[in-house]
Structure formats: structure tokens, C-alpha cells
Amino acid sequence: MTTTLIADRPVEVDAEGFLTHTDDWDEELAAAIARDSGIAELTPRHWLVVDFMRDRYLATGTAPSIRALGKESGVPVKELYQLFPKGPAKLAAKIGGIPKPRGCI
Amino acid sequence: MRAPSARGGWTVSRKRIVVLGGGTGGTMVANRLRRHFDGDEAEIHVVDRDDAHVYQPGLLFVPFGLAEADEIVRSRHRQLRGNITFHENEVMEVWIERNEVLLDDGTVLPYDVLVVASGARLQPEETEGLAGPGWNERVFTFYTPDSAVALQAALERFDHGRLVVNLVDMPIKCPVAPLEFAFLADWYLRERGIRDRVDLVYSTPLDGAFTKPVASEQLAGLLGEKEIELVTEFNAGEVDGVGGKLASYDGRELDFDLLVTVPLHGGAAYVERSPGLGDALGFVPTDKHTLQTPTNANVFALGDATDLPISKAGSVTHFEAEVLVENVVRHLAEQELVAGYDGHANCFIETGFHKALLIDFNYDTEPLPGRFPTSLGPLPLLRESHLNHLGKLLFQTVYWRALLPGREIPGLGTTMPTAGKRLAHTP
């Protein structure tokens, strides 16, 4: 765990930059993490996914996998990769201030 | 479960247990429950849509001519003890609020306890182009007897080019199987003297050869030794089975002459048709220690059908079955359940040349080097050996003769043994 400045605010993050405390999160932080990850602006489609991930994590304690995201969020997997290049579930989780989704076994 | 009746005599309140699925988990559970309950204590029903029980670990060997498809398939109902009713029917829906199951011939089976053991289903149609032109011609899986047989013929004809092994996404049955396929393909091609004319590629959505760090490193080393190219974080999005191209969602492409794929997996179709039973992928949310479903106290699940964060593998199902049976008995006796399952799994990993690795792990401990089941062995962990290979071959006999009938197997307990493991590796 290290403390870093995001949007001029000190927050605690893990080795890969995921927020340690879900409560630290707000929309300003989300936008700053997105910019650091190469997404200049969060569109309503981005927000749909980020909100879905965050709500699901807060309700169940686990973030959905990319496949579940594609089936349930209303955004198809192909578009998820356009919105969040490389790893949509991972990146959306990071922007949403929740822990990195655990890979399956 | 006998209660005095109003007239003072004894009436019998026989419980009805319905098991959905007659594979590894369903068969073991039904047989163990039958041993526990007399016929007048419980009636036991098993439902499956066909009567073909496949010894799934054997499928790996079919493409290489090391096993015949028909020698790994037996009748489902013949693996069940007497006094178990087998229904060869498709399940239409589980009415979870009413404690009833609807079958495709209109039969309604009421239950006191339901056990979901219907495994996982391959979904090649969920990946664009995968099940289209080229399927079973240039694109194969070894996860079904039909495609494994078709792949055997294709491998025999194959004499040069690019052979790509791909797993589309987790979860899959037996996460080590695609690696084993790559190892055996290397061996097979060397035996035929054409290995230098073939590029062998292993592509995976994971960030390494396997999910757990110590084993992943060891297995990546083996891929390197066998000159198998490892392509990681490759999320297959589209297949052109005629042109021979596999494309990832992030725009990378792999050319192939032969593609051996492990398609996406989901739960049984009826799980998706039954409100309140499964998750988005058709797997059943299940308590990781008791194997009861969190929403219904009289519904239990095991094996590939669950959403548990552990391998979908026969060994997992075996260890779960022991705990599940105990908890069904406790539930019917209105006793507290035991949180007895620790995520124990073990798998032999065939590496070719008559050798295999053995891994043994659970929810908390990743696969580590050492010996199994104790420090005296006899089996080495996470290291190639001939003895492990013999163990893998012998296991088929153990499966039909001891595991399915529900007999105890010495040295193979429910919880993971730590005695032989070098736990210093734990991070």
C-alpha cells in the first residue's frame, strides 16, 4: 500500500493503483484515474459500465467478470474493449474505485 | 424419520431427494445417499438428458490415438446403485419456490432436497465465427467425444504449419487440460518426426501459463523447454475458420492451420430458464464451505455447476460430494451444517514422454512443490515424473470402481494435506 496524489488529493492505493478504500472514491477521482489510464473523457457509455461494476461490487462483494459484464450491463463485450482498451473489467474496476476483479481458477 | 400417526401406529414420512445430473457429482452423491438412507427413509431420483457417462479426463488422449472414444463412455444408470430411479429426460425448469422440477415429458418431480450436479456446457456459439464454417474441419475442441475424434483424423493428416491452442475465457473445465494438450501435441509431433515443421502456439486470456503464480512459472518453463510459444492476455473475440485467423478483442491476430479451442463454458440451459437458481452465466451461487445455496436451504450444488472460485475438476467434485452428502443428511435431520469443504483440488498434468506433474491445492494454498500425500511421497508435486503418469492412467479404474460407487479411497481425503508441501513458497 502506498499513498499517492490523485486529483490533488492523497489516497491510498495498492501496487497496481487500485484504491484501497472504496469510500475514498468520487467522480472527480474516477475522471483523474481514467485520464492516467489513457481515457481522456468518460462518456455516458463509460459511466454506464463503471456504475454497473461499482454497484455490483458494493452489493455482492465481487466485481463481475468481463463475460457477465457483457451479458448484464447492456454494453456488448466488443464495445467494452473499445471503451476500455486492453482489460475492460480491470480498467472499469480501477476507475470505479473497487478492487481488481479476481481472475478465475 | 418415522413419526407416530394419529392412530398410534407408525407411518413413514419418506423424504424425496432429486439429483439433477448423472455425471461425476450426481452419481457419487446419489450412491452415497443411497448407502446412508434405507429405502423407506428416502427415495432418490437422478435426472439426466442422456445415458452416456463420459470419463472426461480420457478425452485428452483421444486426439492422439492414445484412447478410443467408446472406451471412456459408459451407461449412466448402470453406475447407480439399486433403488435409485433414473430419469432420462431434459430438465425444463426448476420451480424453486414450489420445490418442484419440471421434466420435458411433463413429469413434475416434487423434492424435499434438490442437488444440482448438471455440470458445465460448452458454448462455442458465443464466440463470433467459432461454430461457423471450418468447425470440425480446421477448428476443433477435444472437450466432446465427437470433436475429439474429428481432431484425431485432422492431426493424422497434419504435417506442417501452425497449430494454435486457445482457451477463450475462464472458467473452463479442467484448467490444465489445454496445457496438457499442447504438451502432448509436442510429443506426438516429435514422435512423427515433423516437430520442426510445425509452429506450436499456446494462447490464453490469463497473464501467464496458469492461474496460480508458482505453478504458472513452472508450466511456462515447460512450454519454453518444449519450444511452444506462449501468447498471454489474448481474449479471443472472433474466429475465421476458413481463412485461419483468430482475432482478439484488442485487435491482435493469430494465424492458424489448425485451431484447437476450448470454448466458453456456461451452466446447464435449464439453470438459466429457472428464475432464482443461477447467475448470469448459468452457474449456481453456492456456499464455498457447506455447498448449500444461499437462497434455498434445501437446495445444494456441486462440481462444475457451481460458481465457486476453484477449478472445475473431478477431484473437486469428489471432495465436495463427501461434504455435500453429510450436509444433506444434517439438513433433513434439522441439524447444523458442517463448513467442511476447503477448496481441495488435485490434478495430474500430462506432459508427454510418459511423464506427468501432480498439483494439489485449496482455496488458500496455491499448488506448491513437495511430495504427496506426505513428505515420504510417493508422488512428487509440481515436478515431472513417470509415477505421476502411471497415477493418471490408473485413475480411470479407480474412478469407475471406487469413486462413483462412493467407496472411500485411502490417502485421498476431503481436506488438503499439508505434510508434504514446501509451504515456504506461500507468499
Q: Show me where the domains of chain B are located.
A: 12-119+268-332, 129-264, 345-425
Q: Which amino acid is at B318?
A: H
Chain A contact for B171, CB < 8 A? yes
Asked whether B82 and B31 are in contact (CB, 8 A), the reply is: no
| Mean pLDDT score, A36-48 | 95
Alpha carbon B5 to chain centroid, angstroms = 46
Confidence at residue A62, expressed as pLDDT on a 0 to 100 scale: 84
The mean pLDDT of B166-187, rounded to a whole number, is 96
| Equal CATH topology for B12-119+268-332 and B129-264 | yes
d(CA B208, CA B71) in angstroms, rounded, equals 34
Residue B5 is predicted with a pLDDT of 42
Residue B33 banded pLDDT, cuts 50, 70, 90: very high
* Helices marked H in chain A: 27-36, 44-60, 66-72, 77-83, 88-95
The confidence score (pLDDT) of residue B18 equals 98
Greatest CA separation found in chain B? 84
Whether residue A82 is contained in a domain is answered as yes
Active site residue A104: yes
pLDDT recorded at residue B15: 97
> What is the C-alpha to C-alpha distance for residues B83 and B50, in angstroms, rounded to an integer?
19
Q: Are B200 and B163 in contact (CB under 8 A)?
A: yes
Mean pLDDT within B13-21: 96
Least Cα distance to A96 among A8, A41, A25, A40 occurs for: A25
Report if residue A105 sits inside a domain. no
pTM of the model as a whole? 0.92
Q: Is the pLDDT of residue B330 over 80?
A: yes
Question: Looking at the predicted structure, is the pLDDT value of residue A105 above 70?
Answer: no
- B206 contact residues in A (CB cutoff 8 A): 103
Percentage of chain B exceeding pLDDT 70: 96
CATH superfamily of B12-119+268-332: FAD/NAD(P)-binding domain (3.50.50.60)
pLDDT greater than 70 at residue B242: yes
Q: Which three cell numbers stand for residue B6?
A: 394419529
Distance (Å, whole) CA B1 – CA B12: 7
B354, three cell numbers: 510418459
Collapsing DSSP to helix, strand or coil, B66 comes out as coil
The pLDDT value recorded for residue A60 is: 84
Q: Considering CB atoms only, which of A65, A71, A85 is closest to B250?
A: A85
The pLDDT of residue A32 is 95
Q: What is the mean predicted confidence (pLDDT) over B297-307?
A: 98
B34-85 tens-digit pLDDT? 999 999 999 999 999 999 999 999 999 999 999 999 999 999 999 999 999 9
Percent of chain A with pLDDT over 90: 62
- Share above pLDDT 90 across residues of chain B, in percent, rounded to a whole number: 87
A60: left (phi over 0), alpha (psi -120 to 50) or beta: alpha
Q: Which residue has the cell 437458481?
A: B277
CA distances from B359 to B16, B165, B251, B315, B344 (A): 38, 22, 35, 11, 11
Q: In this structure, what C-alpha cell is assigned to residue B150?
A: 474429428
The class that CATH gives domain B129-264 is alpha beta
Over range B328-347, report the average pLDDT: 96
State the Cα–Cα distance between residues B208 and A12, nearest whole angstrom.
Answer: 28
Q: Which of A71, A77, A105 sits opposite B249 (nearest CB)?
A: A77
Residue A100 resides in a domain: no
Give the pLDDT score at A63: 86
The answer to whether B230 faces chain A, any CB pair under 8 Å, is no
Whether A53 maps to a domain, the answer reads yes
Domains held by chain A: number:
1
Who's near B99: CB < 8 A, 6+ residues apart? B110, B111, B112, B114, B298
Active-site residue, from A1, A15, A104, A105? A104
Q: Mean pLDDT across the stretch B203-224?
A: 92
| CB of A53 closer than 8 Å to CB of A64 | yes
Q: Which domain, by its residues, includes A61?
A: 2-95
> B4 pLDDT exceeds 50?
no
Residues 6+ apart with CB under 8 A from B8: none
pLDDT band at B207 (very low <50, low <70, confident <90, very high): confident
Name the band, by pLDDT with cuts 50, 70 and 90, for residue A61. Answer: confident
Considering only CB atoms, which chain B residues are within 8 Å of A71?
Answer: 280-281
**Nearest residue in B to A70, CA atom:** B280
Only one residue has cell 474516477, namely A30
Which tens digit of pLDDT belongs to each residue from B367-403? Answer: 999 999 888 888 999 999 999 999 999 999 999 999 9
Candidates B211, B249, B250; nearest CB to A104: B211
Closest residue on chain A to B310 (Cα): A105
B contacts of A64 (beta carbons < 8 Å): 280
- pLDDT band for position B12 (cuts 50, 70, 90): low
DSSP B291: -
Across B407-420, average pLDDT: 84
Average pLDDT, integer, range B277-297:
96
Q: Is A81 on the interface with B (CB under 8 A)?
A: yes
Contact at CB, B175 and A71, closer than 8 angstroms: no
Quickly list H helices, A2-43: 27-36
| pLDDT tens readout for residues B90-104 | 999 999 999 999 999
What does pLDDT average to over chain B? 93
Q: How far apart are CA B240 and CA B143, in angstroms?
A: 20
Give A-chain residues touching B249 at CB under 8 angstroms: 77-78, 80-81
- Is pLDDT above 80 for B331? yes
Q: Mind listing the pLDDT tens digit for each residue in B146-163?
A: 999 999 999 999 999 999
Reported as a pLDDT band with limits 50, 70 and 90, residue A103 is: low
Is the pLDDT score of B113 beyond 80?
yes
| Contact at CB, B170 and A104, closer than 8 angstroms | yes
Average pLDDT on B268-287 reads: 96
- Tell whether the model's pLDDT for residue A24 goes beyond 50: yes
Q: Do A68 and B281 touch (CB under 8 A)?
A: yes
Residue A7: pLDDT band (50, 70, 90) is confident
Tell me, what's the pLDDT at B301?
98
Q: Answer yes or no: is pLDDT of B17 > 80.
A: yes
Of B175, B249, B280, the CB nearest to A105: B175
Residues contacting B184, CB < 8 A, separation 6+ = B60, B61, B64, B66, B350, B352
User: Looking up cell 407408525, which residue turns up?
Assistant: B10
